Amino acid sequence: MAFEDILKRIKEDGGKEAEQIKKEAEGEAEKILQEAGKEAVSLKEKILHAARDSIRDERKRILTMANLEVRKKLLERKQNLIEEAFRKASNHLEHLPEEEYRKAIKKMLLETVESGEEEVIISPEEKLINSAFLEEVNEELSSKGRPGKLKLSSERREFQGGFILKAGRIEINNTFTSLFQEKREELESEVAGILFGS
């Protein structure tokens, strides 16, 4: 074999080998590109899924916050309406016609009296609870076989409607404010039921 033939053969073999290496490299490159494409698609899907989850969670959070705000405002409105109902009821009690007021006070006294010898403390503005009124109550107590010795205290206290019954150091607060506070919790659910049908 001549030198030129050897060179030619080396060139041919080198070309074939280079072609083979090139094909293998292209095949590897194609595989790498396919893998990268799959990973890119997978990564894209993960990112989209995470974004959808994030959007869904944020939407859910916003809706929850909005619902809480609506409930808060509704509760606030209901409480204002209940408060207004109690204010009106208290005002109604304080402005009862004289005869109704006297009947209510007499009933409260008869139910509250323990010994029949207590003092009755009233407000400085009170005009209907007086000595003559207490005489009527004492007569009714006596007719029921109980001591009828209630007397009007010289002490006056600031309150709107009702009275305080005092026996020594013990006081029973039957002012309208005290009675409303005492009954408020019990009455709130009833008032809410009437106002809101719940």
- Domain limits of the chain? 1-95, 97-196
Provide the greatest CA pair distance for the chain. Answer: 154
At 110 the pLDDT is: 92
Query: Which tokens sit at 38?
Result: 């799959």
**Are the beta carbons of 109 and 162 closer than 8 angstroms?**
no
The pTM (predicted TM-score) of the whole model is: 0.55
pLDDT value at 59 more than 70? yes
Which residues are within 8 A (CB) of 187 and not within 5 positions of it... i.e. 6 or more apart?
A: 86
**Across 89-93, 94-98, 115-119, least confident range:** 89-93
pLDDT value at 135 more than 90? yes
pLDDT value at 32 more than 70? yes
- pLDDT digit string, tens, across residues 61-74: 888 888 888 888 88
- pLDDT digit string, tens, across residues 157-180: 998 888 999 988 999 998 888 887
At 195 the pLDDT is: 66
Q: How confident is the model at residue 107 (pLDDT cuts 50, 70, 90)?
A: very high
The mean pLDDT of 101-130, rounded to a whole number, is 90
At 198 the pLDDT is: 58
At 1 the pLDDT is: 59
Query: Which tokens sit at 66?
Result: 């909005």
Query: Which tokens sit at 140?
Result: 């009714």
d(CA 139, CA 135): 6
Residue 121, SS3 per DSSP:
strand
CATH superfamily of the domain spanning 97-196? ATP synthase, E subunit, C-terminal (3.30.2320.30)
